[in-house]
Amino acid sequence: AKDAGRNTFRFYRTALTDAANQRLEIENRLRHALVQNELEVFYQPQVHMTSGKITGIEALVRWRDPERGLIAPDVFIPLAEETGLITAIGDFVLREACRQVVEWDRQGLPPLEVSVNLSARQVAAPGLLHQLRQVLHESGLPAQRLTLELTESTLMEQADTTRGTLQQIKGLGIALAIDDFGTGYSSLAYLKEFAIDILKIDQTFVRDLPEDRNDAELAMTIIDMAHNLGLDVLAEGVETQAQRAFLAAQGCDAWQGYLCSRPLPAASLARLVNDHEPE
Ligand code: C2E
Ligand code: CA
Ligand code: CA
Ligand code: CA
């Protein structure tokens, strides 16, 4: 029994070391990826509900590893948040997305609004406001066409400092969206305090629409309450016409999902926007 215990301990120690080593390896490769320009921004269309037009896009980062191919953000964003690398990654995505949208303007695409994800680490960093001003200035993108997406947990963390920072961001003319709404613990009334403009209903509440009675109820309630508070509502993860139609009937303002398109590389997104026929 004693031996078994010792072996178990050894096993765990090895497992832990392996996990730690693996994380360290990914971290090192991620640092390298930043320097070697292996990060790329994909874009997913955001569709205006009543006109059916693509009016905006969300910037979503990808890692193109020479050996492993395209790596999804779920694999490296959490690690980037823990290690602080998210600041550099977020800076890259913001710059690249703003530059790209202005480039599309020049190419004659209809002017698109652009949404960029912001992690809690970035909101807490002292340089954020300066960075935002600089990116807007360098790219020439009007602030009114930029939206920053934050999660509920980012709002709840250090709520007092965050509130001040978000007010300053709003002061620049940038819009704020709450990402994955419904998965956290914030109330709609609480959101009002942060001068949020857009509420993104998380895809877990959209998936089983319109059949699931609870989710249907929830979607209706969220949309009504958000509208009463003066917020626009965008539904995420819309994959079927039935989901889109239900959300349209509830007055949802916009949607995003595979029904229109998966996130695409810049060139493909531009082709999609050019060929897109509103339904
Ligand atoms: P998110 O911000 O909630 O982004 C939406 C995710 O849902 C994207 O996954 C998108 O590909 C996926 N999605 C969109 N439509 C559908 C649909 O119809 N069905 C389904 N099943 N999924 C759909 P992606 O691109 O893998 O990104 C995952 C998460 O990684 C993002 O979730 C976001 O939290 C994070 N992320 C991505 N890029 C960035 C970034 O530049 N900065 C930060 N901080 N986080 C990022
Ligand atoms: Ca998002
Ligand atoms: Ca989301
Ligand atoms: Ca998410």
51-91 pLDDT, tens digit per residue, is: 999 999 999 999 999 888 999 999 899 999 999 999 999 99
Among 117, 179, 234, residue to substitute to test ligand 1 (most atoms within 8 Å of Cβ): 117
For the chain, what is the mean pLDDT?
Answer: 92
Q: Is the pLDDT of residue 230 over 90?
A: yes
Contact criterion met (CB below 8 Å) for 57 and 44: yes
Residue 90 Cβ contacting ligand 1 at under 6 Å = yes
Contact criterion met (CB below 8 Å) for 32 and 88: no
Q: Is the pLDDT of residue 1 over 70?
A: no
3-state secondary structure 69-92: EEECHHHHHHHHHHHCCHHHHHHH
Q: What is the distance between the alpha carbons of residues 55 and 78, in angstroms, rounded to a whole number?
A: 29
Angle (nearest 5°) at CA 80 between 78 and 86: 115
Among 77, 128, 199, residue to substitute to test ligand 1 (most atoms within 8 Å of Cβ): 77
Q: What is the distance between the alpha carbons of residues 182 and 185, in angstroms, rounded to a whole number?
A: 7
- Give the pLDDT score at 182: 86
Lowest mean pLDDT among 43-57, 65-79, 204-218: 65-79
**Which residue owns the Cα nearest ligand 1 atom 35?**
73
Q: Is the pLDDT of residue 15 over 70?
A: no
Q: What is the ipTM of this complex?
A: 0.97
Mean pLDDT, residues 205-232 taken together: 95
Contact criterion met (CB below 8 Å) for 39 and 77: no
Ligand 1 atom at minimum distance from 119 CA: 44
- Give the pLDDT score at 178: 95
**Which residue owns the Cα nearest ligand 1 atom 8?**
60
- Give the pLDDT score at 14: 63
**Which residue owns the Cα nearest ligand 1 atom 7?**
237
Q: Is the pLDDT of residue 4 over 60?
A: no
- Give the pLDDT score at 20: 83
* Ligand with minimal distance to 201 CA: 3
* E strand map for the chain: 39-48, 54-65, 69-71, 113-117, 146-151, 175-181, 198-201, 232-235, 254-255, 264-265
**Cα dist. 59→168, 197, 235 in Å?**
22, 18, 16
Percent of the chain whose pLDDT exceeds 90: 78
pLDDT category of residue 16 using cuts at 50, 70 and 90: low
CA of 217 to the centre of ligand 4 (A): 22
Residue 179 Cβ contacting ligand 1 at under 6 Å = yes
* E strand map for 80-139: 113-117
Tokens of 131: 């960075």
Contact criterion met (CB below 8 Å) for 42 and 96: no
Q: Is the pLDDT of residue 123 over 80?
A: yes
- Give the pLDDT score at 3: 54
Q: Is the pLDDT of residue 214 over 70?
A: yes
Residue 73 Cβ contacting ligand 1 at under 6 Å = yes
Q: What is the distance between the alpha carbons of residues 132 and 143, in angstroms, rounded to a whole number?
A: 9
CA of 179 to the centre of ligand 3 (A): 5
CA of 236 to the centre of ligand 4 (A): 9
Give just the sign of the alpha carbon dihedral 37, 147, 243, 73. positive
The 10s digit of each residue's pLDDT in 136-174 is: 999 999 999 999 999 998 988 878 888 999 999 999 999
Of 45 and 277, the one with more pLDDT: 45
- Give the pLDDT score at 8: 63
- Give the pLDDT score at 7: 61
Which residues keep their CB under 5 angstroms from ion ligand 3? 179-180, 236
CA of 27 to the centre of ligand 4 (A): 22
Q: Please classify residue 10 by burial: count the beta carbons closer than 10 Å to its beta carbon, then call 0-12 exposed, 13-18 middle and 19+ buried.
A: exposed
Ligand 1 atom at minimum distance from 118 CA: 44
Tokens of 102: 């202005």
- Give the pLDDT score at 9: 58
Of 203 and 13, the one with more pLDDT: 203
How many CB atoms within 10 Å of residue 244?
23
Three-state SS for 200? strand
Among 46, 60, 100, residue to substitute to test ligand 1 (most atoms within 8 Å of Cβ): 60
Percent of the chain whose pLDDT exceeds 70: 94
Three-state SS for 130? helix
